[in-house]
Structure 1
Amino acid sequence: MTKLIRHLLVFICCLGGLLAHPVFAAPAEPVEADRIVAVVGDEVVTYVDLRTRLAAALKQLQKQGTPLPPQDVLERQMLERLIMERVQLQYARDSGMKVDDNQLDQAIGRIAASNKMTLQQFRSALEKDGMEFKQFREEIRNEMVTVRLREREVESKLVISDGEIDNYLADQTKTGASGGEEYQLAHILLRAPESASPEQLQKLRLRGEQALKRAEAGENFAQLTAAFSDAPDALQGGDLGWRPLDRLPALYAEAGGKLQPGQVSPLLRSSAGFHIVKLINKRGGSAPASVQQTHARHILVRINEVVSEAEAKHRLDVIRERIVNGVDFAEQARLNSQDGSAAKGGDLGWLNPGDTVPEFERAMDALKINELSPVVQSPFGMHLIQVTERRERDVSEERQRGSARQALRERKLDEAYQDWLRQLRDRSYVENRLEEK
């Protein structure tokens, strides 16, 4: 789209606003006129869009007990997040990625169930909290698209070589690093454009030094994150959760390992921009010498456009009743399971902790030997699970290499995702008009 067409689009949007609000229908009280605060590709972001999203963010910050930054600072930060969201959604749309209504309904149903509510109860709770259900649906749809985009464009393209695993294991042995110690870090990211000029970098560095000075003086780090950070988790205080150092980006791991709880790092530089890291806390000790392995089998019915959650659960309830009444589990798995293990009677072999998704593992761990689970839901669909054996085993070389591969993936993923976002932002057409009067 040429610049002329973009300006015509902006003019038409403004004209549409005038036609929708004729002069003789003036409101009883003066209100600030809406205006365009950004142009992103072929779309505009209005001040009403910004204020609506900002109101939700303010409510979240207040609920978390985070002191609020100045309003103009929050507006700038929120607008940048809206721009990044539009950039990603436009890229997803142009590349043919979408989430249909059926998939969206299933996701919202799972959210309601996780809150121990029916869909109608969940909808009423949202509306009581001031959020329109239609708006909530679209926000969940956008979130699902963003997650799938990250999986397709970043996660699926990460490659971990055998050489990297060998080097990682050798380094762990040399340093005596313990896999059991975990660190809770929070961070601030000041994102730099891919082809930033020296002047832009210097301006960004000064802004980072300002944030660092305030953090070192003891100001609330979550408030500083909301005011300064360009990272997607800025409104959550930049909290990275509990992780071993080897599952953090290398830059953060090196800085975090030198900190004591409550301390902040110096201003850090990477290809993505400038960073500040704070160690919130650390815990744990040496990793266990052995793990409990579980030998399990399952029957899976997948949920899709044809089979609903209710239908999948009903099918498995019928199958469960047959097994309880004496029908062979393996036979039912071969006939009904929609998993690669069906040919082996649903046998999954020996499983280590972390080998399955959390929902499956929690249900499996709660079972006694030969006990049959109720119907269990996971991201893959609906399952019946049976545990046949358990044993204690030393962590094998294969297991160590698998853990090393996962640690390297997690370490590289955050860096790769930030790099991809920065490149996508730089390739997109964006006009930021927030400061225009």
Structure 2
Amino acid sequence: MMNPLQIKKTLVTVITGFGLLLSVNAYSERLDRIVAVVEDDVILERELEREVTTVVKRIQASKMEMPPWSVLRKQIVEKMIIEKLQRLLAERTGINISQEALDSAAADIAQRNNMNTQQFKTELESQGLSYQDFLSNLRNEIIINQVRGKEIGSRVNVSDSEVEHYLETQDKFGEESTQYHLGHILIAVKEAASSAEIQKAKAKADNLVSKLRAGQDFSQAAISNSQDSNALKGGDLGWRKIADVPSLFSDIVSKLSQGEITEPIRSPSGFHIVKLLEVKGIGKAMITKTKVRHILIKTNELIDDAEAQKRLLALKARIAQGDDFAVLARAQSDDKGSALKGGSLDWVAPGDMVKAFEDSMSKLAVNEISEPIQTQFGWHILQVLGRENKDNSDQNKKNFVKEAIRKRKIEEETELWLRRLRDESFVEIYEDRI
């Protein structure tokens, strides 16, 4: 039988434990509250808290100034809404990623960081990030990229005439020797905005430009005010060549001095503010070109891999004894296009040939003939006839401009598409829970 003192201690323990249980349950219920309704889905407070933790760690690691708590949380909620809308669209259109593909993508990221998967997990944990959260974010990123590719990428094309026009009108491509590190802030305006709403956004952009020119930190201002996908990165667009800068302000950027900030630039999405953070030049693009010829034997019902290798070894022996490579190629090669030219593939640049062929070619001395090698086309022997270093700047310029124009078009289309997707969707935000 307990004495009065024991009974009192027991009651205190029970009451304290009951209070703690109520507190834990109340906290759990709070985390299960809905922060926002997005179409037929929701964002829970626990999801918001998890995302806030991730973003705060990223901002702290980058040494950027933390914006006011309420502003940061609103920006994160908007980011989550946009991502949720894209994931819902992915579900409706049947876009998904298998666990195998996800694991492979994660392994590739680890490898690019010179780690195996276990080392990468350990590194993430040392930074306070769980591997499962990383995989979840990676899955979302891949799915969203696939959605954007389907919705936007297939509609964007770049013609050769666009490339030539760009090269002709941009001072002989002289500006392409320069790279620009840019900061960007978007004050968004809805597509169907009223005149008063447009003027309000313009006034906000003008006021922000004045503050920035007076010394306000650009990254902090972007986190607090920008309404584009780079907001939580401090508005950092990274290093870009001029053809990779959105066409809306590419002409302006090339005339900015380092550290200079533009006036607000109007677009269908709203008002853009751009800062030139840094600028640097690049050199010529030198490559090694190789003059090569080959003889191809394809496999079929009558010629298996062993027979193809046997025939090529016999041809190699005949060449060593004095037979002419070109004559044998014309008579024996199954690559009819090059056979007419004595097996010649002429001068090839890095990346022109399939990997197995290029790997073998790169190991050969001039005039040396390879052992038989296999590619998806069949079995080959090849001979390197010469090598020379070439300034590939002109072709690089064309390739670069074509890809940069495409990326620029995709970026501009994506910005408009995301604003339209947000404006046309049902979204209700519970402000008091943010």
Give the superposition deviation at 1:195.
Answer: 1.9
Q: Secondary structure at the match of 2:170?
A: helix
Residue 416 (structure 1) aligned to one of 413, 417, 422: 413
Residue 287 (structure 2) aligned to one of 282, 292, 303: 292
Alignment CA distance shift 1:162-1:109 (3 Å): closer
Kept in 2: contact 1:248–1:411 (CA 8 A): yes
Residue 402 (structure 2) aligned to one of 394, 405, 413: 405
Q: Distance in 1 between matches of 2:163 and 2:191?
A: 30
Q: Secondary structure at the match of 2:401?
A: helix
Alignment CA distance shift 1:352-1:187 (3 Å): farther
Give the superposition deviation at 1:119.
Answer: 1.9
Q: Is the aligned partner of 1:252 residue 2:253?
A: no
Give the superposition deviation at 1:293.
Answer: 4.2
Look up the match of 2:236: 239
Residue 92 (structure 1) aligned to one of 78, 90, 93: 90
Give the superposition deviation at 1:249.
Answer: 0.9
> For 1:326-374, what per-residue CA distance to the aligned partner results, in whole angstroms no more than 9, with x for missing partners?
999x9xxxxxxxxxx9x999x8972369x89xxx9xx98xx76669xxx
Look up the match of 1:26: 22
- Supply the AA of the counterpart residue of 1:253: S
> For 1:186-214, what per-residue CA distance to the aligned partner results, in whole angstroms no more than 9, with x for missing partners?
11122322222223323322332332222
Q: Is the aligned partner of 1:266 residue 2:276?
A: no
- Supply the AA of the counterpart residue of 2:86: Q
- Supply the AA of the counterpart residue of 2:22: A
Give the superposition deviation at 1:178.
Answer: 3.0
Matches within 5 A, 1:169-248: 169-173=167-171, 177-248=174-245
Matches within 5 A, 1:284-363: 284=281, 288=284, 291-295=286-290, 350-351=348-349
Kept in 2: contact 1:190–1:229 (CA 8 A): yes
Kept in 1: contact 2:289–2:390 (CA 8 A): no
> For 1:56-97, what per-residue CA distance to the aligned partner results, in whole angstroms no more than 9, with x for missing partners?
111111111101110011111111100000011111111111
Look up the match of 1:428: 425
Q: Distance in 1 between matches of 2:169 and 2:176?
A: 13
Q: Is the aligned partner of 1:46 residue 2:44?
A: yes
Q: Secondary structure at the match of 2:428?
A: strand
Q: Is the aligned partner of 1:135 residue 2:130?
A: no
Q: Distance in 1 between matches of 2:202 and 2:383?
A: 56
> For 1:259-304, what per-residue CA distance to the aligned partner results, in whole angstroms no more than 9, with x for missing partners?
111111111111111110000111116x63x74244499xxxxxxx
> For structure 1, which runs of at least 5 residues remain unmatched after alignment?
1-21, 298-322, 331-340, 372-385
Matches within 5 A, 1:107-118: 107-118=105-116
Number of aligned residues:
353
Look up the match of 1:101: 99
Look up the match of 2:154: 156
Q: Distance in 1 between matches of 2:217 and 2:346?
A: 48
Alignment CA distance shift 1:296-1:248 (3 Å): farther
Kept in 2: contact 1:248–1:410 (CA 8 A): no
Kept in 2: contact 1:272–1:418 (CA 8 A): yes
- Supply the AA of the counterpart residue of 1:27: S
Paired-residue identity, % = 31
Kept in 1: contact 2:175–2:242 (CA 8 A): no
Kept in 2: contact 1:368–1:387 (CA 8 A): no
Q: Secondary structure at the match of 2:411?
A: helix
Between 1:136-145 and 1:226-235, the stretch displaced more is 226-235
Look up the match of 1:316: none
Residue 74 (structure 1) aligned to one of 72, 75, 85: 72
Q: Secondary structure at the match of 2:180?
A: strand
Give the superposition deviation at 1:412.
Answer: 1.9
Give the superposition deviation at 1:217.
Answer: 1.3
Kept in 1: contact 2:167–2:173 (CA 8 A): no
Give the superposition deviation at 1:111.
Answer: 1.9
Kept in 1: contact 2:286–2:393 (CA 8 A): no
Look up the match of 1:276: 273
Give the superposition deviation at 1:109.
Answer: 1.4
Give the superposition deviation at 1:144.
Answer: 0.8
Q: Distance in 1 between matches of 2:87 and 2:257?
A: 40
Look up the match of 2:53: 55
Q: What RMSD, in angstroms, separates the aligned Cα atoms of the two structures?
A: 3.8
- Supply the AA of the counterpart residue of 2:223: A
Between 1:396-405 and 1:59-68, the stretch displaced more is 396-405
Look up the match of 1:13: none
Task: Determine which structure has more spread, i.e. the larger CA radius of gyration.
Answer: 2
Between 1:102-111 and 1:417-426, the stretch displaced more is 417-426
Q: Secondary structure at the match of 1:391?
A: strand
Q: Distance in 1 between matches of 2:391 and 2:117?
A: 46
Q: Secondary structure at the match of 1:136?
A: helix
Alignment CA distance shift 1:66-1:396 (3 Å): closer
Alignment CA distance shift 1:96-1:407 (3 Å): same
Q: Distance in 1 between matches of 2:223 and 2:182?
A: 16
Q: Secondary structure at the match of 2:410?
A: helix
Give the superposition deviation at 1:398.
Answer: 6.2
Q: Distance in 2 between matches of 1:99 and 1:110?
A: 16
Give the superposition deviation at 1:128.
Answer: 3.7
Kept in 1: contact 2:286–2:389 (CA 8 A): yes
> For 1:230-262, what per-residue CA distance to the aligned partner results, in whole angstroms no more than 9, with x for missing partners?
222222222222222122111221221221111
